[in-house]
């Protein structure tokens, strides 16, 4: 995250031996990261950008410069509806993971006394991540299905007369699985910032007569903002780009932007998918910029 | 990018062909590109490996093993879904030697010049291939079904042609391998009434308990069968709809979806099995092995014949354009072995149909032949090729005999002229 030049580079060069010019050393130090980002990040994005202006048909791609892909993408109600749907999922999942994530992190940081226990419990949080993403998602299906665990238990207990249909293959199922998959991305950075809060600040607030709620609202939450912002960036970008959860948990009945792209790619419509990817990239970048505008991560870390 | 590479390749191939005019004329069937890596007429590459990819028989390892044992040819098989197969066939023509694709995919990919037609003189069992793939008629008085019927894309006038011939010629684009007649699968224990028509899937009684498959080119055909059965529309050709017909069909689907008629849409075989086995749906589009898979869990499932007829599909083996010399000879040998009976018997016993029925018969017991092909009650237990009991003695195949099932094909899986428009509208249906 940090882009502040490290002080080492400005140190006076040692005497004796071969000395490289300072500028060269700086370039050399920046080179590995620049190369990696250049090859594996900038270059692919550039390719996507270029391909998004190409023409295509079933048999291949034709280098061209036409805006038809964007016109078709932005001019179709399907795109708008899909974006709205994706944004809806993002907002719901973001809200839920933020509340749950903060709650868990708060408990870990302030209610668990010993550092050992804190670490143990934190590791417990990561245990589900030892299995694959897909497995964790699919395991919801036998739980939520029409004849699944929840429904059969409730029906047997006589709580409900007939199985609840909207538990699976619905927006509910999608959001549930996404919250399940993404909450830890919120817990980790928030826990990290909470651990760095100077305990004497809380004592001071208490000495000054603040109630627990006031401490939480006026001291802890403002100080936890950078963690929340980082967690939010993770969750928002992950949910905006999700396709497997939406497809599996909605039973193919709902669409997300990435799913739309995947469909286009499987039908060889790469330029259309590329145009979609560029639009999605811009939107996600705007969302991240908005988050960073609210919380200045660099200043507060 | 792909296009560029392909263009240069073809050019190189052409210039080489002009250079070696006599050689090229001798090999005859060779078209397009292909690197010549030595002396093609000598069986220099030993052991021979053929890379096969696709949707159908590429899923069956037993065939590769038997092929290795019988011919010494190593088959490297890669299985993909239909979309990916179509994609790979066109974009990576050098990555495979044998394409195992469906006929509607062939219609899409053949014009790209990636498949070379076969000379029927080199096909030992060409005469044994059922007439369905040559004339479109199973028996002389059958009606030719709508859609991409295999015989319409089965022949070209000469090697190198990009358009299909009207009738039977010397050049066969693909040797049919595996085909079947698809219909709706039902849970007889849960539907609670007779199912006899494609329209029954839209019965309000099954609201939220139905599913259709989300593969546009196949799903649209199921949808067309449903719409026509309900009397909503009468298609000129279901396999090649006009934009107006596509609109009517998709609008109907969107309305049904918004009314909550569907529980889910499935994309893969196991999704359809799970939907049915768990009772999430009671009636849905299904493939025959999926029905068998549900039944093997001890759950009642029927592949219900419907009065409007079946939606059929068929796949075959096509030779990649780059094959020459020893590799090409090996590919012909493989295909001749393929149609010689063992594989046919294997496929018939899986519930598919083999293209050369006469040769397959020799590799099946009389009881198996009776059950799978003639629609007779099984005398003993019917075993799957893997040796699992599929049906108990006395069972009769859903839909009956080969001629009864394949004789009632209403349409074939297809690719339409308005394909792009259809796919766009289909995506709207999924997003709606």
| Of residues B425, B226, B315, the one with CA closest to residue A263 | B425
Distance in angstroms (rounded) separating the CA atoms of residues A255 and A260: 7
> Which residues touch B337 (CB under 8 Å, ≥6 apart)?
B67, B70, B71, B343
| Contacts A142 to B, Cβ<8 Å | 278
pLDDT at residue A51 is higher than 60: yes
| Contacts A148 to B, Cβ<8 Å | 278
pLDDT at residue B38 is higher than 50: no
- On whether residue A3 sits in a domain, the answer given is no
Least confident range from A6-15, B116-125, B193-202, B340-349: namely A6-15
Number of continuous H segments (helices) and E segments (strands) in chain A: 16, 2
Contact B264 A141 (CB under 8 A): no
Distance in angstroms (rounded) separating the CA atoms of residues A82 and A280: 11
The distance of B192 to chain A (nearest Cα, Å) reads 18
Which tokens go with B315? Answer: 């796949």
> Which residues touch B183 (CB under 8 Å, ≥6 apart)?
B286, B303, B304, B305, B306, B310, B311, B399
Residue B16: pLDDT band with limits 50, 70, 90: very low
- Residues A280, A282, A285, A289: is their CA dihedral positive or negative? negative
Q: Where are the alpha helices (DSSP H) in A170-296?
A: 171-195, 199-207, 212-215, 221-240, 244-249, 257-266, 270-294
How many structural domains are present in chain A? Answer: 1
Contact B264 A169 (CB under 8 A): yes
Q: CA angle, corner A80, sides to A76 and A86, nearest 5?
A: 140
- On whether residue A103 sits in a domain, the answer given is yes
The distance of A58 to chain B (nearest Cα, Å) reads 8
> Which residues touch B74 (CB under 8 Å, ≥6 apart)?
B47, B48, B49, B50, B64, B68
Residue A231: pLDDT band with limits 50, 70, 90: very high
Beta bridge partners of A188: none
ipTM of the complex as predicted: 0.71
Q: From A148, which residue of chain B is nearest by alpha-carbon distance?
A: B278
Flag whether residue B5 sits within 8 Å of chain A, measured between CB atoms: no
Amino acid B1: pLDDT: 37
The distance of A253 to chain B (nearest Cα, Å) reads 6
- On whether residue A208 sits in a domain, the answer given is yes
pLDDT tens for each residue of B174-186: 999 999 999 999 9
The distance of B374 to chain A (nearest Cα, Å) reads 38
Scan residues 30-49 of B and list those with Cβ closer than 8 Å to A. none
Q: Considering only CA atoms, give the Rg of chain B.
A: 22
Q: From A85, which residue of chain B is nearest by alpha-carbon distance?
A: B431
Nearest-CB residue to B279 (from A147, A254, A255) = A147
| Contacts B278 to A, Cβ<8 Å | 142, 145-148
Nearest-CB residue to B427 (from A59, A147, A263) = A263
- On whether residue A32 sits in a domain, the answer given is no
CATH code for the domain of A258: 1.10.3720.10
pLDDT tens for each residue of B377-405: 999 998 888 888 888 888 899 999 999 99
Average pLDDT over residues A145-168: 90
| Contacts B263 to A, Cβ<8 Å | 169, 251
Contact A253 B262 (CB under 8 A): yes
Residue A12: pLDDT band with limits 50, 70, 90: low
Flag whether residue B167 sits within 8 Å of chain A, measured between CB atoms: no
Q: From A77, which residue of chain B is nearest by alpha-carbon distance?
A: B428
The distance of A108 to chain B (nearest Cα, Å) reads 40
Q: Which residues of B246-282 are buried (b: 16+ CB within 10 A; e: fewer)?
A: bebbbebbbebbeeebbbbbbbebebbbbbbbbbbbb
Least confident range from A80-94, B17-31, B232-246, B273-287: namely B17-31
pLDDT tens for each residue of A187-205: 999 999 999 898 899 999 9
More confident residue, A99 or B11: A99
pLDDT at residue B348 is higher than 60: yes
Query: Which of B107, B216, B219, B280 is the best mutation test for A, with the most CBs of A within 10 A?
Result: B280
Q: Are A189 and A227 in contact (CB under 8 A)?
A: yes
For residue B232, with 0-12 CB atoms within 10 Å meaning exposed, 13-18 middle and 19 or more buried, which class applies? Answer: middle
Residue A14: pLDDT band with limits 50, 70, 90: low
Domains of chain B and CATH, by start: 49-180+312-360 (3.40.190.10), 184-304+401-431 (3.40.190.10)
Query: Which of A169, A174, A247, A255 is the best mutation test for B, with the most CBs of B within 10 A?
Result: A169
Contact A268 B6 (CB under 8 A): no
Q: Are B168 and B135 in contact (CB under 8 A)?
A: yes
Those residues of chain A whose CB sits closer than 8 Å to some CB in chain B are 58-62, 76-78, 81-82, 85, 141-142, 145-148, 165, 168-169, 247, 250-255, 260, 263, 266-268
- Residues A253, A257, A262, A268: is their CA dihedral positive or negative? positive
Amino acid A300: pLDDT: 59
The distance of A268 to chain B (nearest Cα, Å) reads 6
| Of residues B380, B372, B369, the one with CA closest to residue B352 | B372
Flag whether residue B265 sits within 8 Å of chain A, measured between CB atoms: yes
Which tokens go with B403? Answer: 């001629």
| Of residues B365, B321, B415, the one with CA closest to residue B83 | B415
Contact A267 B257 (CB under 8 A): no
Q: Where are the alpha helices (DSSP H) in A107-198?
A: 115-126, 133-138, 140-144, 149-157, 171-195
| Of residues B225, B400, B403, the one with CA closest to residue B304 | B400
pLDDT tens for each residue of B40-84: 334 445 678 999 998 877 778 899 999 988 988 899 998 887 777
Amino acid A289: pLDDT: 94
The distance of A151 to chain B (nearest Cα, Å) reads 12
> Which residues touch B294 (CB under 8 Å, ≥6 apart)?
B185, B273, B276, B277, B301
Contact B431 A81 (CB under 8 A): yes
Distance in angstroms (rounded) separating the CA atoms of residues B345 and B360: 5
Prediction pTM value? 0.76
State the pairing for strand pair B171-172/B118-119: antiparallel
pLDDT tens for each residue of A67-77: 888 998 888 88
Q: Which domain holds residue A197?
A: 76-300
Q: Are B114 and B108 in contact (CB under 8 A)?
A: no
Contact A141 B423 (CB under 8 A): no
Scan residues 317-376 of B and list those with Cβ closer than 8 Å to A. none
Distance in angstroms (rounded) separating the CA atoms of residues A81 and B50: 46
Average pLDDT, chain B: 85
Q: From A57, which residue of chain B is nearest by alpha-carbon distance?
A: B420
The distance of A70 to chain B (nearest Cα, Å) reads 15
Average pLDDT over residues A125-133: 84
| Contacts B423 to A, Cβ<8 Å | 267
A207-213 CB contacts, 8 Å cutoff, 24+ apart: none
| Contacts B81 to A, Cβ<8 Å | 266
Nearest-CB residue to B1 (from A61, A85, A169) = A61
| Contacts B112 to A, Cβ<8 Å | 58-60
DSSP-derived letter for residue A252 is T
Q: From B430, which residue of chain A is nearest by alpha-carbon distance?
A: A253
- On whether residue A116 sits in a domain, the answer given is yes
Nearest-CB residue to A78 (from B267, B274, B431) = B431
pLDDT at residue B23 is higher than 60: no
């Amino acid at each position: 995250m940090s882009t502040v030049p490290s002080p080492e580079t400005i140190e006076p060069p040692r005497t004796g031996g071969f000395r490289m010019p300072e500028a060269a050393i700086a370039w050399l130090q920046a080179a590995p990261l620049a190369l990696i980002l250049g090859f594996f990040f900038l270059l692919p994005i550039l390719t996507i950008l270029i391909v998004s202006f190409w023409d295509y048909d079933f048999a291949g791609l034709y280098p061209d410069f036409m805006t038809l892909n964007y016109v078709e993408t932005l001019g179709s109600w399907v795109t708008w509806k899909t974006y709205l749907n994706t944004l809806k999922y993002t907002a719901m999942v973001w809200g839920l993971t933020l509340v749950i994530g903060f709650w868990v992190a708060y408990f870990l940081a302030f209610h668990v006394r010993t550092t050992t226990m804190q670490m143990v419990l934190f590791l417990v949080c990561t245990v589900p991540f030892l299995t694959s993403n897909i497995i964790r998602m699919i395991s919801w299906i036998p739980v939520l299905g029409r004849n699944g665990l929840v429904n059969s238990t409730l029906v047997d207990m006589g709580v409900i007369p007939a199985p609840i249909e909207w538990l699976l293959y619905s927006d509910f199922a999608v959001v549930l699985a996404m919250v399940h998959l993404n909450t830890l991305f919120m817990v980790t950075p928030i826990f990290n910032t909470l651990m760095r809060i100077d305990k004497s600040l809380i004592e001071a607030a208490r000495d000054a007569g603040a109630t627990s709620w006031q401490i939480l609202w006026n001291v802890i939450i403002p100080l936890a903002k950078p963690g929340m912002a980082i967690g939010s960036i993770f969750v928002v970008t992950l949910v905006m780009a999700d396709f497997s959860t939406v497809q599996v948990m909605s039973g193919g009945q709902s669409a997300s932007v990435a799913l739309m792209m995947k469909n286009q790619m499987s039908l060889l419509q790469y330029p259309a998918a590329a145009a979609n990817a560029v639009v999605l990239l811009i939107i996600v970048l705007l969302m991240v910029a908005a988050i960073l505008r609210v919380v200045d991560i660099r200043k507060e870390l | 990018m792909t296009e560029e590479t392909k263009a240069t390749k073809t050019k190189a191939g052409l210039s080489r062909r002009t250079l070696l005019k006599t050689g090229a004329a001798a090999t005859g069937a060779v078209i397009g590109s292909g690197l010549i890596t030595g002396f093609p007429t000598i069986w220099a590459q030993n052991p021979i490996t053929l890379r096969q990819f696709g949707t159908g028989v590429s899923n069956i390892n037993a065939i590769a093993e038997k092929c290795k044992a019988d011919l010494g040819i190593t088959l490297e098989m890669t299985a993909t879904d239909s979309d990916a197969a179509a994609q790979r066939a066109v974009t990576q023509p050098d990555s495979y030697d044998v394409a195992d694709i469906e006929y509607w995919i062939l219609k899409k990919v053949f014009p790209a010049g990636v498949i070379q037609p076969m000379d029927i003189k080199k096909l030992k069992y060409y005469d044994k291939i059922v007439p369905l793939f040559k004339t479109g008629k199973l028996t002389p008085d059958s009606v030719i079904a709508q859609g991409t019927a295999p015989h319409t894309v089965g022949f070209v006038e000469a090697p190198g042609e990009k358009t299909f011939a009207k009738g039977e010629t010397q050049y066969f684009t693909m040797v049919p391998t595996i085909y079947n007649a698809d219909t709706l699968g039902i849970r007889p224990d849960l539907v609670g009434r007779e199912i006899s028509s494609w329209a029954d899937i839209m019965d309000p009684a099954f609201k939220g308990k139905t599913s259709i498959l989300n593969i546009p080119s196949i799903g649209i055909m199921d949808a067309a069968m449903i719409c026509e059965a309900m009397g909503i529309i009468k298609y000129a050709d279901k396999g090649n709809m006009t934009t107006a017909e596509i609109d009517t069909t998709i609008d109907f689907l969107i309305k049904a979806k918004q009314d909550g008629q569907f529980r889910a849409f499935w994309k893969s075989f196991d999704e359809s099995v799970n939907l049915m086995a768990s009772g999430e749906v009671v009636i849905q589009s299904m493939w025959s092995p999926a029905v068998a898979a549900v039944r093997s869990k001890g759950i009642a499932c029927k592949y219900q014949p419907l009065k409007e007829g079946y939606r059929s599909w068929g796949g075959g083996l096509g030779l990649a354009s780059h094959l020459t010399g020893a590799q090409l000879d090996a590919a012909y040998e493989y295909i001749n072995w393929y149609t010689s009976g063992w594989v046919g018997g294997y496929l018939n016993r899986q519930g598919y149909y083999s293209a050369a029925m006469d040769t397959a018969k020799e590799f099946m017991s009389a009881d198996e032949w009776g059950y799978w092909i003639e629609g007779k009650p099984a005398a003993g237990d019917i075993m799957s090729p893997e040796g699992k009991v599929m049906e108990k003695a006395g069972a009769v195949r859903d839909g009956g005999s080969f001629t009864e099932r394949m004789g009632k094909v209403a349409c074939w899986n297809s690719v339409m002229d308005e394909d792009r428009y259809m796919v766009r509208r289909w995506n709207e249906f999924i997003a709606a």
